[in-house]
Structure 1
Amino acid sequence: MSRRLDPFLYHLDDIEQQARREHGSSTAAYLDFIVREFLKYWRLLQSDKPAELEGQAWVRLCLLFELKLREIAYARFDLEWLIFEYDGEPLYNDNCPRPPPRKIHRRH
């Protein structure tokens, strides 16, 4: 991707860090904050019309916004994390045994 988009992406990291500080213990609040702030930032960029975002740069920036949102959601929508967040207990307990370890298939 073009380095000229980097300055517009740094703010996404700032939003994620703020969400972690303010809502880190609640996946629902954390994701709600991130989505709302990402969208506000997108509209702000559209209204400011930076010269660096002319033409196809908008399309690339949209793709990068989506990738960042998916990366954040993927990291938080993990059952082991969510159940620990819910009740502070591990995913598996005495009533629900752990699955067997996965076999790793290696290609020769």
Structure 2
Amino acid sequence: MSHRKFSDRRGSRWEVRVASRSEWRFEPLPGNPDTPRRVRPPLYTGDDPFELSEQELQSILGNATPDAKTGRGTPGASPFGEVHEPRRKKSPFLDDLADDD
């Protein structure tokens, strides 16, 4: 399914992406400084944002919550004060076994 593009009431451009039956994501297009948002679509829409008018999409966007930033890629600082260091990679030639702790 393609993604629907529309303008909000301020004129900022957005793209609606259907993530699942219970979640739509609103992604800001280039030139829009807002953060991505997510929302549970109304029951009457089904899973097709093309069935809605721009006014309905603007109303749904107004009820959307900002996406939480999840730093799943790199572990951040531990809230317990512990220091996390990734394990050193071993040489495929096994010539670093003497350095093992």
> Normalising by the residue count of structure 1, what TM-score does the alignment of the two structures yield?
0.25
Q: Which structure is higher in strand share? A: 2
Greater Rg over alpha carbons, structure: 2
TM-score, length-scaled by structure 2: 0.26
